[in-house]
Amino acid sequence: MDIVLFIIIILTASILQTSTGFGFSILATPFLLLLFEPREAIQINLILSLVISLALIQKIKEDIDFGIVRRFIAGSAAGLPVGMLIFLTLEISMLKIVVSVIILLLTFMLMLNFRVSQTKGRDLITGSLSGTLTTSIGMPGPPLLLYFAGTNTQKETLRATTLAFYLFIYLISLVIQVLFAGTNAVIWIASGLGLPLVLIGLFAGQLLFKWINPRLFQIFIYVILLFTGIYLLVENWNA
């Protein structure tokens, strides 16, 4: 394991997750896959993401939309087993190519001012997609991020509601991963090494959150999604 690259990945992703409410899995997972096998990268991401959500949730719980969270959880019940089945059967590089294309297409739709009204049915669909992506590739963020951006959700509500949902989805996904894909010492040692970096990211990210204006927040969304989509597509096209 390249320890310098590992430090950069975890620290940067932690700051982004803490300051915006999304981003750790979206940024960390593709790069962790350079250092670890898929099962290890996904489980390290799930463990550290769960720690971040637990650490932040008390401070921002007043901004949570619990109705949306409940519908996300209900929807994810259908997506979680589907994602695990995909992980166990589909070649991982092909899965990442499909995800990258979806991310890029939906990002361009947002940049063209695509908007969608929020409904209970769409909450359920978004939760299902998020659950599928969490157990299959460890990335629940894209469906939530795209959905909330399309509905012009305030950044405080976005951050709090996604973190509340992450508490459930990361924990359940980790249990499913361990039960059906197994685990090993490398995963837990690397996660332990990442904890101090996460704590530093928590502190730095909270400071940055106070200074992020809505326009800059929107730019963050576009840049992260475009970067992730292009990276996954190029990295796995010839794999």
Structure-block tokens of residue 179: 């039960």
**pLDDT-based confidence at 239, cuts 50/70/90?**
low
User: How high is the pLDDT of residue 125?
Assistant: 93
The answer on pLDDT for 222 being more than 80 is no
- Positive or negative, the CA dihedral 201, 147, 167, 48 is negative
pTM for this structure?
0.83
Can you give the pLDDT at residue 34? 80
CB 78 within 8 A of CB 131: yes
Domain of 125, in residue numbers: 3-237
For 36, which DSSP code? S
Classify residue 75 as exposed, middle or buried by CB count within 10 Å of its CB (0-12, 13-18, 19+).
buried
Number of domains present in the structure of the chain: 1
In tens, the pLDDT along 131-160 reads 998 888 888 877 887 787 777 677 778 778
> To 5 degrees, how large is the angle CA 161–CA 155–CA 153?
75
Q: Give residue 223's identity as a one-letter amino acid code.
A: V
Overall size of the chain counted in residues: 239
Q: What is the pLDDT of residues 164-194, one digit of tens each?
A: 898 899 999 999 999 998 999 999 999 999 9
pLDDT in tens, 72-129: 999 999 999 999 998 888 887 787 787 788 778 877 877 777 677 788 898 999 999 9
